[in-house]
Amino acid sequence: MKSHLLTATAIMLLTAGLAAAQPVETIIVTSAADSGPGSLRAALATAAVSETPSQILLAAGTPVAIETTLSYEGSASLSIVGTGQMIMTGNNVTLIAVPNGADLTLTGLTLVGPGGFDINNRGDLDGPAGKGLFIGVPIDAIGPIHLNLTDVTVKNVAGHGVHISDCSLADACGGGAGGGGDGSPASLVINATNLTIDGVGYGRFDADGLRADERGPGSITFTAIGSTFHGVGADGVELDEGDAGDITVLVVDSVFSANGNYCDPSVLGAFLPDQAEAAFDDGTTAADAIPGPITDAPDNACIEREVDFYDSGFVAEYAFGLDLDDGIDLDEAGDGSLIATMLGARVAGNLDEGIDFDEEGAGDIHVSFVATSAEENTDDGFKMSEYGAGDVTGIIDHSGARANGGKGMVFEEEDAGDVAVTITNVTTANNDDSDDTGVEVVQDDDGVGTLTVVSSDIADGFDVEGVTVQ
Ligand SMILES: [Ca+2]
Ligand SMILES: [Ca+2]
Ligand SMILES: [Ca+2]
Ligand SMILES: [Ca+2]
C-alpha cells in the first residue's frame, strides 16, 4: 500500500510541475478603446488563438466602454487582471462572454451595465437580456470548468450578473424540479472572493445574481468569501444541479440581501383577480367558472396559477401568486447530495425565502450554519427540503432567525431516511405569527427524527412532526 501511495504522490508532483512549467502568454492592454491595437477586445482575440493559457493585464487608466460583447472564443484558460477598472456599456448586451467553456479568472474588475431596468422597462423584449459574465460549457466538455472571481463587482445588467451554463437549453434551462436540458460530463467549480453583485436581474424574469446550471454528469462546487449579493431581481445566488452529481457550497462572511423583487407586487398586484384564492364544494364550480391565466401583465411569467380538481372534474380550489425569489437558492436533483456550510452569513430582506435548499432523488442534505442570521425575509428564514431516499443532518450554532414572514428555520425530510438536527446557541423570535414558528422539523414516511436543543432561545416555539426533541 505504501508504495502505491508514494507512486500517487510522485505522479501528483510531476503533474503539478508540468502545469507550472506550461508557458503563459501575457498580453498587456494599453488602450481603453472599444477595439483596435492595445484594446481589451484585441487582447481577447490574440488570446483566443493561443494554445497555451493567457493572462491579460489591464494597465491602469480610464474605463473601457464597449458597444458590443467582449467574447473570448478560445478554450485555453484565461486570466484577466485589473486594478479595479470598469468595463462598462450603455447597451443591453452581455459584457464578457466565454462560449467555449474555458477556465476563467477575473481579478480586480467592475462590470457595469446600463441600468434602469424593471418589469415595466424590460430588457428581454427586443433580444436577450444582457449579462455581466457568461460562460457556456460545450456538450463535449470533460472539465472541471473553473471560474475564479476575486475583487470583482457586477452591476446594473438586465440579466444574470454571472451565469455559467452546462445546459443544452441555455437560457430556457429552467430551475429546480422543473428544469430540463442535457449537459456535458464536466463539473463546475466556482470561487468568489470579495465578489459584489448589485442591482442586476431586473430586465427579465428569473435572472439571478450568480447562476449555475449543471446538467449531465458532474457536480457544482461553489465557494463565496467576503461577497455580497444585493438587490437582484431574482435569487441572489441560484445553483441548479439537475442530474447525477452533488452541490457543495462554502459561504464565509457574505451577505444576501433584498433580492427577488422583479415580479414587484406593487406593480403586479393590480393584475391579479380580485379573489386571488378560493375553495369550493364538489359539484359546484366548473373549470371555466374561475379566473383564467393572466395574459395582460407586464410579464405574465411572474404570475403563478394553481388549480386543484375533484375526481368529478369540478374545481376544488385555485390560487394565484407572484413568483418572488430568495437570498440563496440551491436545487439538487437526481443522484447526489447537497452539502452546504455557511459561516458568518447575513441573509436579510429577500422577497421569498432567505435560504432555500432542495434535494431530490437519491442523496442527502448535510448543512452547517454558524454565526449566520436570517431576518425579515418574506417567507421562511432557513428552509431545507429533502425528498426521496436519503437523510437530513443540520447543525446550527450561534445563529438566529428573526421577523421572517414564514418560519424561522425549517427542516423537512420525506420518504426513506432520517432527520437529525442540532441547534446550539440559537435565537429565534417574531417569525410568522409567533405560534410555534421558530423551528420546524418534519420527518415523514420511514425513518427517525431527532432535534437536539442546547442553550437556545426559541421564543416563537417549536413545530415538530415525527421527531423526538431532546
Ligand atoms: Ca455536467
Ligand atoms: Ca444530482
Ligand atoms: Ca439527490
Ligand atoms: Ca429522505
Sign of the Cα pseudo-torsion (435, 439, 442, 447, in order): negative
- Sort strands 303-309 and 315-322 into parallel, antiparallel or unpaired: antiparallel
Closest ligand to 137 CA?
Answer: 1
What's the distance, Cα to Cα, between the start and end of the chain in Å?
Answer: 44
Q: Is 249 helix (H, G, I), strand (E, B) or coil?
A: strand
Cα 104 to ligand 3 centroid, rounded to whole Å: 28
CB count in 10 Å sphere of residue 334: 16
Cα 214 to ligand 1 centroid, rounded to whole Å: 5
What pLDDT is recorded for position 190?
98
Helix (H) or strand (E) holding 14: helix 2-21
Cα 247 to ligand 1 centroid, rounded to whole Å: 12
What pLDDT is recorded for position 159?
98
What pLDDT is recorded for position 18?
47
What pLDDT is recorded for position 12?
44
What pLDDT is recorded for position 385?
98
Closest ligand to 387 CA?
Answer: 4
Amino acid at 451: L
Q: Is 179 helix (H, G, I), strand (E, B) or coil?
A: coil
CA distances from 196 to 82, 146, 193, 281 (A): 16, 19, 9, 51
> What cell numbers appear for 257 in the block?
440581501
What pLDDT is recorded for position 323?
96
What pLDDT is recorded for position 176?
61
> What cell numbers appear for 249 in the block?
457550497
Is there a contact between 364 and 393 (Cβ–Cβ < 8 Å)? yes
The residue whose grid cell reads 477598472 is: 85
Is there a contact between 269 and 316 (Cβ–Cβ < 8 Å)? no
Extract the residue ranges of the chain whose pLDDT is less than 50: 1-19
Rounded distance between C-alpha atoms, residue 20 and residue 27, angstroms: 19
What pLDDT is recorded for position 21?
53
Closest ligand to 362 CA?
Answer: 3
Closest ligand to 245 CA?
Answer: 2
Q: Is 48 helix (H, G, I), strand (E, B) or coil?
A: helix
Rounded distance between C-alpha atoms, residue 303 and residue 466, angstroms: 35
